């Protein structure tokens, strides 16, 4: 492993980023390697303090470093099903870039969120 960290043997998946703990927390900017505070590993492999993660995720759903999704709770599916589009926009599409899989594609237009069908992510940008 390149990350220079001890991981639990029960951990099934680990995205290993070289020396990821030898950096500052992207939220509070404290040097993580010398910190006594618990650390949270994000799905993308970046790390931050657990308390910083809890506060940050109250208002944000992407990694502050690479913009990949932190959580896929499916809240957007329910929200979009309640927000019906007017008839004149039903056949419109929008070109998007997915921040999670880094691919471009087209998706049905919606004023609130755009879901990329290949990876089912709402973490997209309009092109």
Complete DSSP assignment for 41-87: E-TTS-EEEHHHHHHHTTT--B-TTT--BS----HHHHHHHHSPPPG
Cβ pair 38, 30 in contact under 8 A: no
Comparing C-alpha atoms, which of 60, 27, 18 is closest to residue 39?
Answer: 27
Query: What's the pLDDT at 28?
Result: 92
Domains detected in the chain:
1-71 (3.30.40.10), 75-126 (2.20.28.10)
Q: What is the pTM of this model?
A: 0.62
Split at pLDDT 50, 70, 90, the class of 51 is: very high
Query: What's the pLDDT at 44?
Result: 82
Size of the chain in residues: 127
Comparing C-alpha atoms, which of 44, 56, 6, 47 is closest to residue 24?
Answer: 47
Across 47-62, average pLDDT: 89
pLDDT in tens, 74-109: 667 777 778 888 888 888 999 999 988 899 999 988
The dihedral through the CA atoms of 27, 75, 83, 99 has a sign that is positive
Comparing C-alpha atoms, which of 44, 45, 47, 48 is closest to residue 69?
Answer: 44
């Amino acid at each position: 492993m390149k990350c220079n960290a001890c991981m639990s043997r029960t951990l099934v998946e680990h995205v290993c980023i070289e020396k990821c703990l030898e950096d500052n927390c992207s939220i509070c900017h404290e040097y993580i390697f010398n910190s006594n505070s618990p650390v949270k590993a994000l799905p993308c492999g970046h790390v931050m303090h657990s308390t910083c993660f809890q506060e940050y995720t109250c208002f944000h759903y992407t990694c502050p470093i690479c913009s990949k999704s932190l959580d896929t709770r499916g809240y957007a599916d329910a929200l979009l099903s309640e927000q019906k589009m007017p008839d004149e926009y039903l056949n419109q599409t929008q070109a998007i870039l997915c921040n999670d899989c880094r691919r471009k594609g087209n998706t049905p237009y919606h004023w609130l969120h755009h879901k990329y069908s290949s990876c089912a992510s709402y973490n997209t940008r309009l092109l």
